[in-house]
């Protein structure tokens, strides 16, 4: 239907006949001539219709915004060039105009920015925007670059089931009732974890899949019920083999798709160091601020809020120095307290250094009076506080203090413009094998129950479970965990022991993971892998905070597709066939 794309009409075509198809971006009718900006995915070209072309001029007089047109005409040089357009040196003098489809009045003009619900309801219109086209096409290039890289290196792209068995990865499963087997359900996979391990048992050696995964979680800011990961697994490897291979891949695709040099090799940091210095297992290294432990300086004070955790092996007392933070108003400091509370803080102690040289008189702080001179000097020294700084304190159990001071670190850096414009990847390694869940009084897996411990002996692991380190690793970029993986357990005895330590009894293990335990009996090879969050990486590359910008048809925060109106009620007969019925909530 067309000889060229609108956006690619250029000077070499001058005097040639072309046909183009696209949408009316703007139309300006004058008495003897009409101008149309016609748009396709490559860009815009100006169409000129002169009154002398009677039929064409009659046609163009009737068209409106977002009409879909086909134009035959001749390329000529524009009188006044538009340097903003690639095609801005030329225009098409229309000979023939075909209205391919009319457009009614749009619910919003493409340059407007109505609320997200409206944009998602008419997603097919929002996607017409040049910036949305750019973001979505960047995602396509990312995925394509990853595939080409892996295809060239012998990785097997193998599809694993979507209708599968419940796999407990810490989130709720979406369930699918079986029609053929009454009362039974499939689950949608939270990841292809066990299938990819079985592919290693099956001898596929190198596997990848751009895999759709599903988690029925209460949606936080930027989660989706279905999301996409680059899932990978390698046989006969240790952690450095996997890390080196995928680091090279990520470096390659950032260079190829975005022209970004991630440098390398990526720095490596232990989980313990990341928590200590940044209060996070996914530290944003673009921010220079660090947490400073000050327990040793406050162990002796009367103030129990500090001295309690300072003397508790499971506690933490730390400070975050905010350079120039003394200029914060009381209101701003209160807001920081509110922010910290979201991450578990019960309060936020602070200390303003107005004039260091004035000693106690130069300090403004609700807690200073609880600190004797030794404590005060110790804290100021440890944090290297300067006049004009603000110190924020955390005291309590180690995890909570780290979490909220880590969150404050990011917030104040953003507020003060202290986030470097850079790409800062790193590996976080040496995760604890288990976390002790004080409430449930049992261990939970920090990665997942198939992650191998560094200790290779079952008895040793049992004896040192609380301090055991896993063979897991995360790739972190600018504060985002973009990939997570591990070397897996490949022996039945070790897998059974880990299930046991996690409180998964032999019977439950058999019911849920019997097929894995069985598969490990038949010469399963050592193996390991990783999964990357494609949505997040695409969003980072596209320079957007929201993964919704790089998903064609995303769902809302309440897990709805506003465009198609899903989920929706279904006829009772359909449910009857599936052997289920709806239980209306009591409050309805």
Choose, by CB under 8 A, the member of 33, 106, 245, 262 that binds its own copies. Answer: 106
Number of Cβ within a 10 Å radius of residue 148: 13
Task: Tell me the closest approach of the beta carbon of residue 12 to its own copies, in angstroms.
Answer: 20
Cβ atoms of 197 and 527 within 8 Å: the answer is: yes
203: exposed, middle or buried (C-beta count within 10 Å: 0-12, 13-18, 19+)? exposed
Cβ atoms of 308 and 395 within 8 Å: the answer is: yes
Q: Give whichever of 148 and 304 is closer to its own copies, judged by the CB atom.
A: 148
The reply to whether 220 sits near its own copies by the rule CB under 8 A is no
Choose, by CB under 8 A, the member of 28, 32, 441, 569 that binds its own copies. Answer: 569
The reply to whether 560 sits near its own copies by the rule CB under 8 A is yes
Stretch that binds its own copies, among 221-229, 304-312, 405-413, 452-460 (CB under 8 A): 221-229
91: exposed, middle or buried (C-beta count within 10 Å: 0-12, 13-18, 19+)? buried
230: exposed, middle or buried (C-beta count within 10 Å: 0-12, 13-18, 19+)? buried
| Sites for its own copies among residues 150-169 (CB under 8 A) | 151, 156-166
Per-residue contact flags (x/-) with its own copies for residues 52 to 91, judged by CB under 8 A? --------------xxx-x---------------------
| Sites for its own copies among residues 454-483 (CB under 8 A) | none
Choose, by CB under 8 A, the member of 30, 31, 115, 581 that binds its own copies. Answer: 581
Supply φ then ψ for residue 553, to 5 degrees: -130, 75
Strands (E), 219-295: 226-235, 268-270, 291-293
Q: Give whichever of 211 and 322 is closer to its own copies, judged by the CB atom.
A: 211
The reply to whether 124 sits near its own copies by the rule CB under 8 A is yes
The reply to whether 198 sits near its own copies by the rule CB under 8 A is yes
The reply to whether 517 sits near its own copies by the rule CB under 8 A is no
Cβ atoms of 112 and 66 within 8 Å: the answer is: no
Q: Give whichever of 394 and 528 is closer to its own copies, judged by the CB atom.
A: 528
Stretch that binds its own copies, among 259-267, 447-455, 476-484, 513-521 (CB under 8 A): 513-521
Alpha-carbon distance of 208 to 206, in angstroms, equals: 7
533 marked as part of a ligand binding site: yes
Task: Tell me the closest approach of the beta carbon of residue 548 to its own copies, in angstroms.
Answer: 13
183: exposed, middle or buried (C-beta count within 10 Å: 0-12, 13-18, 19+)? exposed
Stretch that binds its own copies, among 191-199, 463-471, 478-486, 540-548 (CB under 8 A): 191-199
Of 248, 288, 282, 253, residue with least CA distance to 265: 248
Choose, by CB under 8 A, the member of 72, 116, 169, 216 that binds its own copies. Answer: 216
536 marked as part of a ligand binding site: yes
How long, in residues, is the chain? Answer: 588
Which residue ranges are tagged as binding site?
169, 215-217, 224, 447, 481, 488, 533-536
């Amino acid at each position: 239907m067309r000889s060229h794309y609108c956006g690619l009409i250029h000077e070499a075509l001058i005097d040639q006949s072309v046909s183009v198809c696209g949408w009316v971006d703007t139309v300006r009718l004058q008495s003897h001539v009409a101008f149309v900006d016609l748009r396709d995915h490559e860009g815009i070209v100006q169409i000129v219709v002169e009154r002398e072309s009677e039929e064409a001029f009659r046609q163009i007089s009737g068209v409106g915004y977002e009409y879909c047109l086909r134009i035959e005409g001749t390329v000529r040089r524009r009188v006044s060039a538009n340097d903003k357009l690639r095609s801005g040196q030329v225009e098409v003098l229309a000979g023939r105009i075909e209205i391919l489809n009319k457009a009614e009045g749009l619910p919003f003009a493409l340059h407007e920015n109505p609320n997200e619900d409206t944009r998602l309801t008419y997603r097919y219109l929002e996607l017409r925007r040049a910036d949305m086209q750019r973001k979505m096409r960047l995602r396509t290039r990312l995925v394509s670059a990853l595939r080409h890289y892996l295809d060239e290196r012998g990785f097997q792209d193998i599809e694993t089931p979507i209708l599968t068995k419940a796999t407990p990865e810490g989130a709720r499963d979406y369930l699918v009732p079986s029609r053929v087997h009454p009362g039974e359900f499939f689950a949608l996979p939270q990841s292809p974890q066990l299938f990819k391990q079985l592919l290693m048992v099956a001898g596929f050696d190198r596997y990848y899949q751009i895999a759709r995964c599903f988690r029925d979680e209460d949606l936080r800011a930027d989660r989706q019920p279905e999301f996409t990961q680059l899932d990978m697994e390698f046989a006969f490897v240790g952690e450095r083999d996997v890390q080196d291979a995928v680091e090279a891949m990520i470096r390659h695709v950032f260079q190829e798709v975005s022209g970004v040099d991630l440098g390398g090799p990526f720095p490596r940091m232990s989980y313990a160091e990341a928590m200590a210095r940044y209060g996070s297992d996914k530290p944003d290294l673009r921010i220079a601020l660090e947490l400073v432990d000050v327990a040793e300086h406050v162990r002796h004070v009367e103030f129990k809020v500090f001295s309690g955790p300072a003397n508790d092996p499971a506690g933490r007392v730390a400070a975050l120095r905010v350079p120039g933070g003394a200029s914060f108003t009381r209101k701003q400091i209160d807001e920081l307290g509110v922010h910290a509370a979201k991450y578990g803080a019960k309060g936020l102690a602070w200390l303003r250094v107005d004039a260091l040289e004035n000693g106690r008189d130069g300090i403004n702080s609700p807690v200073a009076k609880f600190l004797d001179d030794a404590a005060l000097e110790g804290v100021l020294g440890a944090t290297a506080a300067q006049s004009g700084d603000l110190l924020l304190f955390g005291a309590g159990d180690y995890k909570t203090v780290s979490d909220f001071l880590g969150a404050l670190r990011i917030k104040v850096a953003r507020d003060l413009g202290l986030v470097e414009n850079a790409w800062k990847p790193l590996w976080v390694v040496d995760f604890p094998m288990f976390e002790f869940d004080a409430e449930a009084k049992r261990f939970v897996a920090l990665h997942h129950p198939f992650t191998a411990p560094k200790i290779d002996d079952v008895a040793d692991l049992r004896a040192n479970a609380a301090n055991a380190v896993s063979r897991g690793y995360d790739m972190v970029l600018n504060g985002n965990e973009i990939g997570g993986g591990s070397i897996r357990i490949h022996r039945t005895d070790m897998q059974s022991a880990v299930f046991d330590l996690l409180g998964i009894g032999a019977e439950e293990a058999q019911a849920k993971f019997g097929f894995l335990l069985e598969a490990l009996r038949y010469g399963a090879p050592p193996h390991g892998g990783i999964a990357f969050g494609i949505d997040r990486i695409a969003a980072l590359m596209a320079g957007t905070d929201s993964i919704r910008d790089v998903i064609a048809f995303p769902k809302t925060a309440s897990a709805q597709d506003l465009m198609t109106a899903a989920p929706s009620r279904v006829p009772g007969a359909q449910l009857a066939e599936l052997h289920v019925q709806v239980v209306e909530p009591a409050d309805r």
